[in-house]
Every structure is written in C-alpha cells, then in structure tokens.
Homo-oligomer: A and B are copies of this chain.
Amino acid sequence: MPAAKPVPQRRAPARAKSEQRVRDILRVGREVFAELGYEHTTTTEIARRIGISEATVFTYFSGKRELCVRVISDWYEEITTTLAEGMPREATTFEQFRWFVHTHLSLFLVEGTGLCAFVLSEGRAKGHGELVDVLVELQRRYTAPLMDLLASGRERGELRGDISLSLMRSLVLGPIEHLLWERVGTGKKLDAEETARSLVALVWPTLAQPEQELARLRELRRTLAQALAGA
C-alpha cells in the first residue's frame, strides 16, 4: 500500500471526524464481539485494535452494553432493510420464498459466521440484562418479512392453511440456522446458492397448498408433452 499519500485534508470537517470515529468503533466492535462473544470482549481490546485510548470509546458510547446493542442493532438493520426492500412483491409466493431463503443465507455468509454466531448465541444467552429486551424486539422485526410473506401466501391460497404460521416459520428458519451452526462448528464451507436451492426444494412442498404442487407438476408435464409433440 505505498501510494495513498496523506492528503493534508485541510479543513477536515470536525463533524465528519467524529462520525468516522463512531464508524470505526462500530466496525471494530462488530469484529471483536463476533470474535470473542460479549463477555470476552473488552473495551481495552476494541480500543487497542483501533489504536485509540480506551477512554475515547467511552466518549462515543456510554458503555460496553450500549456499544454492543448498537452493533447488533446495526446488523439487524442491515438485514431487515435488505429483506424488506429487495423482496419481489409482485412475484408468486414461491418466488418470494425462494428469494427470501437465498438472500438470508447469503447475508449470513457475507458477514462471516462471527456476528451471526454472536447474535444467535449471545443474543439468546441469559444475564445480559437489557440486552435481551433489545434483542427480542429486533428478533421480531427480523422475522417480520418472512411472516408477511407467509401470511400473504396463505391469503392467496398458495400456502396450506392447516398449520400455524409460527410453525411454518420454525420450519423455514430452523434448518437455515441449523445449517449455519453446523458451518460455524465444523468450519465447513457452505455454498449459499446450492444450499438455498436445496432447502427451497425440500421445504416448499411442505408449505405449499398440496393442489398447487400437483397442478404445477401436471402443467409441467403438459408443457413438455406439447413441446415434444410439436417437435
């Protein structure tokens, strides 16, 4: 990294510098929390990695917990925003579902297992006091897109109506998270594309209105038959 000569940066807007610090701390904080977990993360370590005084961390965040809450919140924010904005609202429920599973897995993999594991485990652990309260709400917002998807799918008659939405949710998120844990534990790589495809193929039939599936197959066969006949 030879180039990048330190441009004098005349008139560095004071405001900008401060915001940069906040970003630095959040970035490194995310990194360290993901790496060590809540209890093993120390403000000392965070400061050390940025190369600032420990006291500076406290200038921008009122404490370790607040920082952690911000780290987690930001991450949830990213996910929920992506999920909420990217969702193809006009597509069929199946397409939406496929998109959701795929995006979900990709997001986790982009971040690496660290933060993911952190939120899943620490977030659920006892004893962090208010941290739990914050996370419960975040968790709710985090699953909202899926719940919406499922609800509207049911309204459209594309999803079966004989099992509760929350059971459906567990059926979808459960395997996803389990696969991620597996990966975290064993260190095995996970192909998001491939995994998403498999999961969708496996889980969708369970969620879908049975007739839908039959119809889908019949249509496929008819299409093919016609194509063959025409050829």
Q: A residues bordering B, Cβ < 8 Å? A: 8-11, 35-37, 39-40, 44, 48, 53-54, 117-118, 120-122, 124-127, 135-136, 139, 163, 166-167, 169-171, 173-179, 181-182, 184-186, 198-199, 202-203, 205-206, 213, 216-217, 220-221, 223-225, 227-228, 231
Contacts and interface: CB of A to CB of B under 8 A. Distances in A.
Given A44-B10, A54-B11, A117-B126, A202 B171 contact: yes
Contacts of A135: 185
A126 B40 contact: yes
A159 to B, nearest CB: 12
Given A127-B40, A174-B175, A48 B185 contact: no
B225 A223 contact: yes
Contacts of A54: 11
The secondary structure that dominates the A interface is helix
A39 B205 contact: no
A228 to B, nearest CB: 4
Given A124-B120, A126-B40, A220 B221 contact: yes
Contacts of A37: 125-127
A126 B224 contact: no
B8 A44 contact: yes
Contact of A203 (B8, B48, B136, B206): B206
A231 B227 contact: yes
A136 B185 contact: yes
8 contacts: A40-B127, A117-B124, A135-B185, A136-B185, A174-B179, A177-B177, A213-B217, A221-B223
Nearest to A210: B205
Contacts of A167: 179, 198-199, 202
A9 B49 CA distance: 12
